[in-house]
Structure 1
């Protein structure tokens, strides 16, 4: 009952019950909810549409020195699809069980962070705190589909330019221990399509230069490289998943009948490239393998993110020093890592602005994008206290 009667928990649960779920997300109810939250804080709110039907909601807490560069507290409003039959609770019910666990899609990724920001600001306002730098709380769409119509477009707008952003805080990761994972960089996402052409004919013949033989050669080479990355992880305990390059065959098509050697095959690979990888050498190696296979292979990197420098975690970054001071004061264990996936922070860093990902979710079973996603009420409320300290220090830099 104490959790169910808690104002912050009720706000969070209301947010979770809005099904901003892919595909074809309708953000209308979400925008109205966030407008109500801004009104409850007595803070101005604006809605920008960098793409049609893709709203970015911006709540502004004006600083005492607004000429200084601002702080962004960012989160995304969309969530990934669900398979209701796999859940023990309705995925958008925000049920609380007897242990205080709140079940809903978005509890970990990442609606919790969005309303924790607001809860922290509510506490700071009540205490009479006044930030020196302007703080923007941004809620962006479509992060789960790559942010192409969300943050990627938003940073191109005049509105964003006028915000004069100096630092961005965004999502981190759920931790199953008492150590918080902090993202200071992200691997680059490349997607590769290979179209193999070769000799076709009857399946009983040993035809030369077939598309299948070429396909097999290149797949074997990419698999060998993949295995080298697995071995690197196994041999060096200091490495995390974000420190190596992943290559995965995700789609394969071609052929019409079992006894016909087809003239075409197509393979698609998902790649997440380590920031230490020499991109020019890696791409050349793939093209060389295609030549060694016999040629006649079309190479298409249809997604090819450019190199983006990591956010510095040293004395040259005053925002990092403020964050570290907060962590030390709160007694938090924090482990900086390269994000193994991708978040909207990469679009902020691409503009030359430092960005860090952090979520105060610890001692919690990882259920991001999984069934029965949950967060404990006490972990959620503790997160508000953590952000209260963080926001106060960041905004005074």
Structure 2
């Protein structure tokens, strides 16, 4: 593996991950699995995978806790990325080109290979200082097809015995970059109703659909509607200090002098399939002072922002994995 002479090992592995082409509609999931197994084993992690649909693996890495009976910490990310239009890119979107300012240009730099790599590099740092045992088991999970709804990804996986055996207590997933100095932390997300409505989960869903029905009725007897997808999950994750998980997460951000705001995600992530089953899930991508380019041309992330995210996750993972029994 080649890298710049003075490049942080975390950045080198991040760029290598970005070079794996997992672009929809034909992501190379086999190469991605091989890469993540190489990455996990380099860190001494127990790697596994499960194909819910042939050729679309859920890829996992597990760090057993000293008390495996306690609900575990799940660190989730997805492996696929959205399409690119190369004529609009300054650099090849799968070269992971780094310019003189440390900006790394690649599809997936923000959405969301950065977070998957930050989890693993945080584990590297935790292990480096000799801390190899957590109270709770930690699962690092990489899922396919999030960008197309995950019908053959986590939607299938949550129905399996393997998922149940993970014994999840708390989950972290993606958020969004922030263009100012305030991190965004997401405790819920809008319900997706395709033609294309994104409904705030605090909305009265029955009243909204009744309104749509009334509009159609007023428009005439030949006017009807149907949903391609109609998500009605309105579960929200607690963000008050009396919740032990949130107390730890917010305390770490405060100790790190991170300004943050709690918000409802504007779109939809794979966390919705966990929240729908009653699991607590938080969306958090530690990227500040960064233009939001997740599905845009010339998507990039600065290496200093990426490494700051690794720092935050290093403290966050260790503390969450050691939340006492409650």
Q: Is the shorter-chain TM-score for this pair beyond 0.5, marking a shared fold?
A: yes
1:74 is aligned to: 76
Asked whether 1:39 is paired with 2:13, we answer no
Asked whether 1:308 is paired with 2:234, we answer yes
**Distance in 2 (alpha carbons) for counterparts of 1:30 and 1:284:** 45
Q: CA deviation at 1:317?
A: 2.0
Aligned partners of 1:3 and 1:9 also within 8 Å: no
Q: CA deviation at 1:36?
A: 0.7
- Normalized per residue, the structure richer in strand is 1
What RMSD in Å do the two structures reach over aligned CA positions? 1.2
Q: CA deviation at 1:282?
A: 1.0
User: What is the aligned residue count?
Assistant: 320
**Distance in 2 (alpha carbons) for counterparts of 1:140 and 1:81:** 17
**Distance in 1 (alpha carbons) for counterparts of 2:290 and 2:222:** 50
Show CA shifts across 1:274-295 (max 9, x none).
1121111111111111111221
Aligned partners of 1:4 and 1:10 also within 8 Å: no
**Unaligned 5+ runs, structure 1:** 192-268
**Unaligned 5+ runs, structure 2:** none
1:123 is aligned to: 125
**Distance in 1 (alpha carbons) for counterparts of 2:186 and 2:63:** 25
Q: CA deviation at 1:309?
A: 1.1
Aligned partners of 1:151 and 1:347 also within 8 Å: yes
**Distance in 2 (alpha carbons) for counterparts of 1:110 and 1:41:** 20
**TM-score, normalising length from structure 1?**
0.79
**TM-score, normalising length from structure 2?**
0.96
Asked whether 1:85 is paired with 2:11, we answer no
SS at match of 1:306: coil
Aligned partners of 2:233 and 2:272 also within 8 Å: no
1:212 is aligned to: none
Asked whether 1:326 is paired with 2:264, we answer no
**Distance in 1 (alpha carbons) for counterparts of 2:7 and 2:264:** 39
1:317 is aligned to: 243
Match of 2:208 among 282, 288, 296: 282
Alignment of 1:1-397 (within 5 A): 5-129=7-131, 130-191=133-194, 269-397=195-323
**Distance in 2 (alpha carbons) for counterparts of 1:3 and 1:142:** 35
Q: CA deviation at 1:307?
A: 2.6
Aligned partners of 1:73 and 1:170 also within 8 Å: yes
Bigger Cα Rg: 1
**Distance in 1 (alpha carbons) for counterparts of 2:51 and 2:6:** 35
Structure 1 outlier segments of 4+, above 4 Å: 1-4
Distance 1:111 1:164, change over 3 A: same
